[in-house]
Each structure stands twice: as C-alpha cells, then as structure tokens.
Amino acid sequence: MRRISFLFAVAFAFLLLPATGFAAHNPADYPLRVHVFTHSGFSHYWGYGGTRNLEGVDGEGRANLYENSQPRGFDFKYECEERLQNNMGYETYLARWKKPNVEMELLLPITGHTCKFHVAMKDGVVYTRHNGNFTETPADKFKAWMDKYQYDPEHGKNTPTRPAGEQASALDPASFPLRVHIFTHTGVSHYGAPGQSAPEVVEGEGRANLYENSQPHGLDFSYHCPARLMDSLGYDTYPARWVEPGRKLEILQPATDKTCVLDTAVKPNVVYTGDANSLQQQPSSTFKIWMEQNQYDPEHGQDLPTPPAAH
C-alpha cells in the first residue's frame, strides 16, 4: 500500500506542475531568505522488488541568511524530503525560523516540500564567492555592497542593480535583460594540467526556455563555458543577452563573474516543461496563458508564480 500511495502522489503532483508548486505551504509564511553555497548529501531509499524510492536526504553545508535586511553566514546540518541544490547566482530559498538561531525551515521550489536546517550562526561574517573562490567576508562590508547595489532578497530585490551614474561593466546584470531557464544539459570538463581543481573550459549541450519580451520560447543549445554550468533550480533563471540574435546567446554566471555563450536553436512555438527527469514540450501559447494567470515574468522581476486567488 505504501508503494501504491507513493506512486499516486507522484502522478498527482506531476499533473499539477508547474502551477501549484507551493500548494502545500504559503510562501508568505516564509519571510526570510537563504542562499546555499555548498553542501553534502546522503540519500535514503525504501522499496522492494527492485523498486527504490527516495525517502529523504540529509547532510551539511554553508549558507547565508538574510533577515531584517542584514546578511549573516551560517553552517548547517539538514534533513530534506528531496534532494537539496546549491543556489545559482544571487537566487535564494524562502525560509522561516522554527527555533530562532537554532532550527530553520526552508521551502523548496516546484514541489513545495520543506527542509529542516539545524544551524550554527556565524558572528560578523558572511560567505561569498569571487572568481570561483569560496571565502568569508566581513558582514558589514557585504552589507555596504548590498546597500550600494540595492540587493535585498527579503524585499524582492533579487538582482544587484548598478547605482545611477556609475559606469556599467561588461558583467553588469542590467546589461543582460533576457532570462534563460536551463532544464537539462550534459557537460565535459577540460583541465589544463593534472591535479588542477577548476576546469579551463566546459562544453556540452542542453535544453532550456528563453524569456524575451515577456514571451516564452524553448531552445536547444550547445555551449563552451569557462566554468561549470548548472541546471536552473525551481523557477530560477540566468540573466542573458543576444550576441547574435537567434543564434548566439550569452548568459551571466553571477557567482563566478563569468559568462557562457550558448549556440542556440530557438523553438518559436513550443516551450519545455517538467524537469530533467520528465521533460516535455508544450505549446508556447498555452504556457503564456499560464504565465499571465500566475503573474510569472522573470524578465520583469516576477520570479515566482503567484496562483490566482480561489473564488
């Protein structure tokens, strides 16, 4: 009976995606934001007769908390209902305290499942990553950067904004107005010398959605990147811009201060839906209706769908 119930729940959840990812929990009840930089994970399974079903995942990691517009680093041990993923770029998880400074609950995108975090808060420091290097930074210095670049994910400021009058750099997020959601990709890393920790180039191919002028388009792509590429988490997207319209798309990898060029084949009338394990195509017109009904428009700051109020 347990196996039958599990399969029924999976099938029912699949039919509801993507419109009801947070159905079991109200996002408004999770006012805090957490950026997970790195973590380990051990998956636990149950099943019989050759069937293995994921029961839970636990591990430990390092992250930043944003609370009352203040950043704080912390280490954690966790228990999740599904696999946890590191955050891409400047994206964050929704969170709330269960026991202040001791136990925290994260809300996972798409499925609406939760993670329990047992935390050890750090005083006066946050975690940062610059040019691929993971390090600690004084919290007051990072807070000054947040204020300067209007970065405050607790209050909807999810992407740093260049101050008025400051000369734009090549990697200014404002120079990347489009958004790309990567569903799945392959990747082969190439190293310049034995024992080198980071690859010199990564190449592969994949499938994604492009959001341009509030319109969704599916696309297939191949790529050459100076850093490893990651699939988008939940509804997360990469900032992007055209190098050659319709052919070459450059995406910004904020956490590494690097970009990646995708050679694209745009699908004008279809989009991809689902996830890497159950990827499907859907008419773009149908998905556009869903976007409008759920106020989902990542190009213009509407990064999470908001289901219509029930009547």
Query: What tens digit of pLDDT does each residue of 257-302 get?
Result: 678 899 999 998 999 998 767 899 999 999 999 999 999 999 888 8
Mean pLDDT on 172-189: 87
What integer pLDDT is reported at residue 268 of this predicted model?
Answer: 85
Mean pLDDT on 202-225: 93
Q: What is the pLDDT of residues 28-85, one digit of tens each?
A: 999 999 999 999 988 888 876 666 777 789 999 999 999 999 999 999 999 998 888 8
What integer pLDDT is reported at residue 2 of this predicted model?
Answer: 36
> Residue 231 above 50 pLDDT?
yes
pTM: 0.54
What integer pLDDT is reported at residue 269 of this predicted model?
Answer: 92
| Residue 309: strand, helix, or coil | coil
What integer pLDDT is reported at residue 1 of this predicted model?
Answer: 36
Torsion sign over Cα 81, 84, 89, 92: positive
Contact (CB, 8 A) for 260 and 172: no
What integer pLDDT is reported at residue 267 of this predicted model?
Answer: 92
> Residue 115 above 60 pLDDT?
yes
What integer pLDDT is reported at residue 215 of this predicted model?
Answer: 94
**Using 50, 70 and 90 to split pLDDT, how confident is the model at 182?**
very high
Q: Which of 12-16, 209-213, 306-310 has the lowest mean pLDDT?
A: 12-16
Give me the torsion for CA of 96, 99, 104, 107, rounded to 10°. -40
Q: Which residues of 66-77 are buried (b: 16+ CB within 10 A; e: fewer)?
A: beeeebbbbebe
Q: How far apart are CA 181 and CA 62, in angstroms?
A: 25
| Residue 148: strand, helix, or coil | helix
What integer pLDDT is reported at residue 140 of this predicted model?
Answer: 92
Better-scored residue on pLDDT, 228 or 206: 206
Mean pLDDT on 114-123: 95
* Cα→Cα distances 310→47, 294, 307, Å: 38, 12, 9
Q: How far apart are CA 23 and CA 10, in angstroms?
A: 14
Mean pLDDT on 149-166: 82
> Residue 98 above 60 pLDDT?
yes
Contact (CB, 8 A) for 224 and 261: yes
> Residue 17 above 50 pLDDT?
no
